[in-house]
């Protein structure tokens, strides 16, 4: 061990990190990303190493913001460094990379090491990529789900609870903002926890955050749900399955969501908050997690099997995912459209999908007869009960219960993509729409996103605006427009696609 003087750095890293002078690191045979134990006046922390000869001099270590609080330092203190042996969990990550099946104890060890920040971002990435390329057995996914649920707080309600979740893949999927108030207005308890976007331009939590805060303690969440019957909050703020949020941060720049991790991510949070009954939305179509009905049925069977082992009653709704739900993509634009739907002015695709999935939950909760759930859900939406309940939820979460769609500001920098010829919209590319909206700044910039003016099957004339791109930043808007012109997110063609004559048919 060697003594170092602490230098406080106004920097933050994804994991707890110290910065060493390159010469000190070479002398102590410390590699980039190595784990060290830092001790200051009896206080200890495990950190990863980074190097710089500019930020710190020889004999100094730079301490990032999260470590400053943990170690209680202000600069000038003496610290000792001890190089740590790699955790055993790293051996299990390597085992998974080889395609070998892991035991429950091995998976539990990996999750615990992630929770304790013993694995670096690169090592967590290796675990995610191993799942992506090598897959996992049902037994491994079950173990992963339980281990993740055990990594944080757990919650139980006295009444039976209901929930809805989507496997994602379809931009503009803001249906939870309709489903939660419909179910709560029926008298069923729906404690909805949501993730923020990983690969999409807006997760449910991102969209709800436009209307009200979504970050609460687990006790605050319980109180809101028990008082008004439902809530829509960010799961990451509750310390439920916190390892999931660490893994999501790794997945985000990669823009991947491996199937085993996706299943465990969804079910771990449901398990942690005591969800008894859940409807799972599985969209099908190009760009979705399931490309066909057959794919969706296989995915549904896996969720039902693993959910059953965990004590969660799951029913799956296979939905059309060939183009965005509604006409908007991006947090604020989607929040506006959801409010409009609750007020009776929403697009048919959004209303139909939301009430169909809500109907399944109403039937599961015996609030509607089998086959009548869709009708009952529509009645709750049309008679204004869902809007009143949503306003209660918004107020309970600290938002303005009187908010109107026009109160929500969108990105002031706007560009339009126009039709270059007369014809019909023959395709709206989900993946292109997602990439363009993200390039415009969504979901980080709440006002960024896309408004689609026409969808598949619509007749358009040359010069019609096919798409409006909103951004809070001119540079991002330019990038989004450049991407839109290269990807062609909305394709227009005439009804006659070609002509075959006898001569060229032979």
The domain spanning residue 452 has which CATH number? 3.90.1170.30
**Lowest-pLDDT range of 243-257, 290-304, 338-352:** 243-257
pLDDT digits (tens, 9 = 90+) for 359-404: 999 999 999 999 999 999 999 999 999 999 999 999 999 999 999 9
Tell me how far apart the alpha carbons of residues 183 and 180 are, in angstroms, rounded to a whole number: 5
Number of domains, the chain: 4
- pLDDT band for position 66 (cuts 50, 70, 90): confident
User: Which of 83, 115, 150 marks a domain boundary?
Assistant: 83
Clarify whether residues 290 and 189 are in a common domain: yes
Clarify whether residues 44 and 185 are in a common domain: no
Clarify whether residues 444 and 469 are in a common domain: yes
Beta-carbon count within 10 A of 121 CB: 17
Return the structure tokens found at 252. 């985000």
Clarify whether residues 322 and 367 are in a common domain: yes
Q: What are phi and psi of 439, to 5 degrees?
A: -65, -30
Give the full edge-to-edge strand order of the sheet including 423-428. 459-460, 423-428, 490-493
- pLDDT band for position 496 (cuts 50, 70, 90): low
The answer to whether 243 and 151 are in contact (CB under 8 A) is: yes
Which helix (H) or strand (E) segment holds residue 424: the answer is strand 423-428
Helix, strand and coil in the chain, % to nearest 5: 45, 20, 35
Q: 17 CB contacts (<8 Å, ≥6 apart)?
A: 47, 48, 49, 50, 64, 67
Identify the domain containing residue 373 by its residue range.
162-241+263-405
Kindly tell me the burial class for residue 367, based on how many C-beta atoms sit within 10 Å of its own C-beta (0-12, 13-18, 19 or more). buried
Tell me how far apart the alpha carbons of residues 6 and 39 are, in angstroms, rounded to a whole number: 11
Clarify whether residues 396 and 294 are in a common domain: yes
Residue 129 DSSP SS3: helix
Residue 254 lies in a domain: no
- In 199-312, DSSP assigns E strands to 230-234, 277-284
Q: Is the pLDDT of residue 14 over 80?
A: no
- pLDDT band for position 506 (cuts 50, 70, 90): very low
Beta-carbon count within 10 A of 479 CB: 17
pLDDT of residue 289: 84
Clarify whether residues 220 and 298 are in a common domain: yes
Relative to beta strand 490-493, strand 423-428 is antiparallel
pLDDT of residue 401: 98
Residue 111 lies in a domain: yes
- Mean per-residue pLDDT for 251-269? 89
Give the domain CATH number at 289.
3.40.1030.10
pLDDT digits (tens, 9 = 90+) for 73-84: 999 999 999 988
pLDDT of residue 505: 47
**Lowest-pLDDT range of 120-129, 299-308, 495-504:** 495-504
pTM: 0.85
What is the Cα gyration radius of the chain?
A: 25
Tell me how far apart the alpha carbons of residues 337 and 461 are, in angstroms, rounded to a whole number: 25
Q: How many CA atoms lie within 13 A of 388 on its CB side?
A: 7
Between CA 127 and CA 137, with CA 133 as vertex, the angle to 5 degrees is 80
pLDDT of residue 503: 56
Across the chain, what does the average pLDDT equal?
A: 93
Q: Is the pLDDT of residue 329 over 60?
A: yes
The answer to whether 47 and 18 are in contact (CB under 8 A) is: yes
The set of catalytic residues is 257
Clarify whether residues 224 and 280 are in a common domain: yes
Clarify whether residues 208 and 228 are in a common domain: yes
Clarify whether residues 335 and 362 are in a common domain: yes
pLDDT of residue 200: 83
Q: 366 CB contacts (<8 Å, ≥6 apart)?
A: none
Between CA 172 and CA 179, with CA 178 as vertex, the angle to 5 degrees is 110
Tell me how far apart the alpha carbons of residues 195 and 202 are, in angstroms, rounded to a whole number: 10
**Lowest-pLDDT range of 9-13, 87-91, 100-104:** 9-13
- Mean per-residue pLDDT for 8-34? 89
């Amino acid at each position: 061990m060697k003594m170092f003087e602490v230098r406080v750095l106004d920097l933050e890293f994804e994991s707890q990190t110290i910065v060493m002078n390159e010469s000190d690191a070479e002398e102590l045979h410390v590699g980039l990303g190595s784990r060290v134990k830092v001790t200051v006046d009896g206080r200890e922390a495990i950190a990863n190493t980074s190097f710089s000869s500019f930020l710190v001099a020889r004999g100094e270590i730079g301490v990032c913001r999260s470590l400053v609080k943990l170690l209680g330092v202000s600069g000038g203190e003496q610290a000792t460094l001890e190089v740590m042996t790699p955790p055993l969990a790293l051996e299990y990550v390597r085992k998974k990379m080889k395609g070998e099946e892991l035991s429950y104890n091995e998976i539990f060890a990996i999750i615990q090491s992630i929770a304790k920040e013993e694995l670096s971002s690169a090592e967590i990435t290796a675990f995610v990529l191993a799942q992506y390329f090598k897959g996992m057995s049902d037994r491994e996914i079950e173990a992963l789900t339980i281990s993740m649920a055990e990594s944080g707080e757990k919650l139980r309600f006295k009444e039976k609870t209901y929930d809805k979740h989507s496997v994602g893949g379809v931009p503009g999927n803001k249906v939870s903002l309709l489903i939660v108030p419909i179910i709560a207005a029926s008298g069923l308890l729906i404690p909805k926890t949501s993730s923020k976007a990983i690969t999409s331009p807006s997760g449910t939590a991102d969209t709800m955050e436009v209307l009200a805060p979504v970050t609460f303690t687990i006790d605050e969440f319980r109180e809101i749900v028990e008082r008004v019957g439902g809530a829509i909050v960010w799961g990451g703020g509750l310390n439920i399955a916190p390892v999931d949020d660490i893994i999501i941060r790794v997945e985000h720049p990669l823009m991947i969501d491996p199937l085993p991790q996706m299943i465990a991510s969804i079910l771990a949070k449901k398990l942690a908050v005591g969800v008894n009954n859940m409807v799972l939305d599985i969209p099908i179509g190009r760009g979705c997690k399931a490309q066909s009905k057959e794919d969706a049925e296989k995915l549904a069977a896996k969720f039902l099997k693993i959910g059953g082992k965990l004590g969660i009653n799951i029913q799956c709704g296979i939905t059309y995912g060939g183009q965005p739900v509604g006409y908007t993509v991006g947090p604020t634009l989607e929040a506006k459209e959801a409010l409009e739907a609750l007020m009776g002015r929403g697009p048919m695709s959004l209303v139909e999908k939301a009430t169909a999935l809500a109907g399944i939950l109403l039937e599961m909760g015996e609030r509607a007869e089998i086959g009548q759930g869709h009708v009952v859900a529509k009645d709750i939406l049309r008679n204004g009960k869902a809007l009143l309940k949503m306003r209660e939820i918004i107020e309970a979460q600290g938002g303005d219960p009187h908010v109107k769609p026009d109160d929500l500001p969108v990105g002031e920098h706007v560009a339009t993509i126009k039709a270059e010829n007369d014809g019909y919209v023959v395709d709206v590319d989900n993946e292109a729409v997602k990439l363009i909206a993200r390039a415009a700044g969504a979901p980080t910039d709440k006002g960024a996103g896309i408004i689609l003016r026409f969808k598949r099957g619509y007749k358009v004339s040359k010069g019609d605006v096919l798409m409006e791109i909103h951004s809070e930043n001119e540079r991002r808007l330019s990038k989004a427009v450049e991407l839109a012109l290269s990807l062609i997110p909305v394709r227009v063609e005439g009804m006659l696609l070609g002509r075959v004559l006898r001569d060229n048919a032979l």
